Amino acid sequence: MKAHVLGIDGSQKGEMSVAKAFSEKVRTDLISRAFLAEMSETRQPYGTDPMAGFRTSAHYHGLRHYKYSMMNREMARMPRIHGRVGYMSMTARQVPQANKGREAHPPKAFKVWKEKINRKEWMKAFMSAIAATADKSVVAGRGHRIEGVKNVPIIVDDKVQELKKTTDVRKLLESVGLEAELERSSVVKSRAGRGKSRGRATKVRKGPLIVVSEDKGIVKAANGISGVEAVTLANLSVMDIAPGSKPGRVTVWSKSAVEVLEKGK
């Protein structure tokens, strides 16, 4: 399988073989499993204070024939505050049903959220997600505007790694036919519901992804465009090329990055 290599101005510079890099069968089930496994690693453990509800002097008196005993009396047998404490005397504490008591089944901070996945299974899912970026029907089915793109995968010269200005990155994406896609990903919508007050007020669409073998300024420059991301091949994950576990994100590859995939390293 041959693919065109484009310059940063959109002109064709040559061809290269991509027989191995994009030959894997697209397995949506494996991609979904790998995506969830990666997402689980980003989840922060949370839990209540182990001493919540226990910082009290309340205790249970179970002795018979004792002045402050709670046996043979018409009251529930639970820890209560004793002593000369005024209106709080004999007030129940600690138990879940009591005021200011502990929570019945609180979340535990030691719970393990990380989901396991076999190394070979993840690698197959990773290569499958990469192959999906070379299928024009899959990319278009994900909702990307690629009417101006002639061929996928989109491979550009290694000079793309040296771009350090956001305007130059935008010109590059427009020159390869992704002008309509930039308009689509620039739409920022307000989130519905309570999430607006919890640090996620807006929703940004996932736009083009730029994958390079070495970062010489492109990663920082691409962050200035809404929906556009740039990442090195060493840091590439299933979450990057298949956001939401849906494969087919429109991706621009540098020539050296594809050569590394061809070597299988």
Percentage of residues in the chain with pLDDT exceeding 90?
79
Q: Domains along the chain?
A: 2-42+117-263 (3.40.1370.10), 44-112 (no CATH)
Nearest residue to 231 via CA among 254, 247, 198, 259: 254
* Structural contact between residues 242 and 129, judged by C-beta atoms closer than 8 angstroms: yes
For 117-148, write each residue's pLDDT tens digit.
999 999 999 999 999 999 999 999 999 999 99
pLDDT value of residue 265: 56
Query: In angstroms, rounded to a whole number, what is the distance separating the alpha carbons of residues 213 and 235?
Result: 10
Query: In angstroms, rounded to a whole number, what is the distance separating the alpha carbons of residues 161 and 177?
Result: 19
Give the 3-state DSSP-derived string for 78-102, with helices as H, strands as E and coil as C.
CCECCCCCHHHCCCECCCCCCCCCC
Tally of CB atoms within 10 A around 97? 9
For 29-84, write each residue's pLDDT tens digit.
999 999 999 999 999 999 999 999 999 999 988 887 777 778 887 888 899 998 87
